[in-house]
Amino acid sequence: MNLNQVTIPVTDIKKSIDFYTEIGLILIVHTHDRYARFVCPDGNSTLSLHVVDSINAIAQTTIYFERDDLDQYVETLRKKGIKFDLMPKDQPWLWRESHLSDPDGNPLIIYYAGKNRIDPPWKIKS
């Protein structure tokens, strides 16, 4: 099994398309004003946007994007005016993370984990 896409709710499709394009995703579908889909520049994972009337903060989805060049990438985005809630920081779970939100408040984490992404020292042995 392979994860194809995650779809998140947004209230302003244009603003959201601009944001996700600005952070580096590639727009591949925008058929109407209620839906858009992006492909990640590395790999084949996709992210979809679907317009809703309002966003329920309790039901938000956190999206993780991994970058080998995390610190440099975050600095590039900051220079473009993207605001971060947490600058790159080493976490106890062995990931280096930075936190931000999209225009609708959906939380994003841009991180680097390397081998610890799927093979941390505490991984369950099969």
Cα dihedral 90/91/96/101 (nearest 10): -120
Q: Is residue 42 part of a domain?
A: yes
Q: Between 31 and 110, whose confidence is greater?
A: 110
Q: Is residue 104 part of a domain?
A: yes
Q: Is residue 124 part of a domain?
A: no
Q: Is residue 122 part of a domain?
A: no
- Which residue intervals of 44-100 are DSSP H helices? 70-79
For residue 59, the model assigns a pLDDT of 66
Q: Is residue 123 part of a domain?
A: no
DSSP state of 71: H
What's the predicted TM-score (pTM) here? Answer: 0.86
For residue 56, the model assigns a pLDDT of 76
Q: What is the pLDDT of residues 45-72, one digit of tens each?
A: 999 999 998 887 666 788 999 999 999 9
Q: What is the pLDDT of residues 75-96, one digit of tens each?
A: 999 999 999 999 999 999 999 9
Q: Check which CATH number belongs to the domain holding 29 and give it.
A: 3.10.180.10
Q: Is residue 21 part of a domain?
A: yes
How distant, in Å, are the alpha carbons of 5, 92, 95, 105 from that of 74?
24, 20, 15, 18
Looking at every residue in the chain, the average pLDDT score rounds to 92
Q: Is residue 95 part of a domain?
A: yes
Q: How many domains does the chain have?
A: 1
Beta bridge partners of 110: 65, 98
Q: Is residue 125 part of a domain?
A: no
Range of 33's domain? 5-117
